[in-house]
Amino acid sequence: MLVAGIDSSTQSCKIVVRDAGDGRLVREGRAPHPEGTEVDAEQWWQAVQTAADDAGGLDDVQAVAVGAQQHGLVALDASGEPVRDALLWNDTRSAAAARDVISELGDGDEARGRQLWVEATGVVPVASFTVSKLRWLADHEPDNAGRTEAVALPHDWLTARLRAGGGPVVAADLTTDAGDASGTGYYDAGSGRYRDDLLRLAFGAEPALPRVAGPGEGVGEATGLAAGAILGAGTGDNAAAAFGLGIGPGDVVVSIGTSGVVSALADTVQPDPTGTVAGFADATGRRLPLVCTLNASRVLSTVAQLLRVDLDALSELALSAPTGAEGIVLIPFLEGERTPDRPDASGAVHGLRVHNAQPANIARAAVEGLLCGLTDGIEALRQQGLPVHRVLLIGGGARSRAVREIAPQVLGCDIAVPTPDEYVANGAARQAAWALSGDESPPAWEVALTESLHADPEPHVHERYRSVRELTEG
């Protein structure tokens, strides 16, 4: 039997069709998404259809599930239509709204507000989270806010479109899962329930929210595209990637995509009022403590464009420069930043002098700066008491030879590189297979490793980065 997994990410839609029993890849397809930090959700649906055609169709699959970018706001009216374009996770205009809801919960005391938010939901609002975007909508577009009868995340909305055969979404039929709900800011992953009081504080109303399905639950059947296929619960992209990798205790996933993500598996998460570690849920009923940066693979593509080279040439340049880039440090806050929480920050280059102003050093500094931000994430998980026995490096940025070779030096630990693959889509496909089987436990799919990377740690790179990071404005 065949199952399909859909990855509706920031930049594109990917679909994999796999054998339900052993996870063997049968075929795959993809389609691009438009640029921008707000998108007409209908374009996601069109991309799903295009990617399905590119994959040879989904008529023969018995189950399908969706993994999609987290936090995005799809506000629906009474007829199930979006009231406006969806606001994506990387839209930072809601930064002031995040600060407002923190302050208000703390009665004007920001520190108290942070503590209360993390105790209530496991997270502290930042611009990325849905709760902050809802406040922004209420403040800046009150007419659209007043028309909002239901709120969905991207994966919730796409699952509903599959159920409706591409027709209008029925708000009462919306479903989500704990992994994606835990990134909204109004769901408590510890107790497994929504915090309607926080939703009301942020939005001034209580629109309908998706039912939170169990990890291996089937949530209906697809009609139209993949007609008759069981719909798996689906989840957010980070939980889907972790599930696709089959991580266990002691594993830390470092994902370099549009965002940079450091995550691990845990039974419990210590509240972090700084907001650095988000206490998300995973796709299996456990927890997925996670640190996220806004800037990852686009740091490489942007610097490659600046140097007028392609990504392969950027990698070769970086590897030709010495460790530490002869004193140049690049702070990669090109689109603001989430960790640390500096939505108005910009990138910066420190230590530039006549003797070191070479393309190779700039390229090296870009790779090292990107990896230093992820090193902060690993340190934050260690401070939570989480063991770091194995680091798995995935994502489009991990395809860079410079990233792979420099990573163990900067991260300070050995690196395992799984076979390059679509792990978000794979996780969704594995969820679909779980729903199809009806078993208590998910199917065991093998994940192959292509490289084990070792290098002597170079802690001075991260130390230098930290010493100038605080000089960055924003």
Residues carrying an active site annotation: 237
CB burial string 211-231: b at 16+ within 10 A, e below: bbbebbbbbbebeebbeebbb
Of 293, 252, 300, nearest in space to 275 by CA:
293
Structure tokens at 307: 């140097």
311 phi and psi angles, rounded to 5 deg? -65, -35
CB half-sphere exposure, 378, CA atoms < 13 A: 27
Mention every residue, 6+ apart, whose C-beta is less than 8 A from residue 57.
none
Q: Round to whole Å and give the CA distance between 385 and 379.
A: 10
Q: What is the spatial distance between Cα 245 and Cα 144, in angstroms, rounded to a whole number?
A: 40
- Give the whole-angstrom CA distance, residue 157 versus residue 6: 13
Q: Residue with structure tokens 């030096």? A: 409
- Residue 399's identity, in one-letter code, is R
Integer Cα distance of 411 and 389 in angstroms: 13
What count of other Cβ atoms lies within 10 Å of the Cβ of residue 322? 11
Helix or strand holding residue 1 (H, E): none
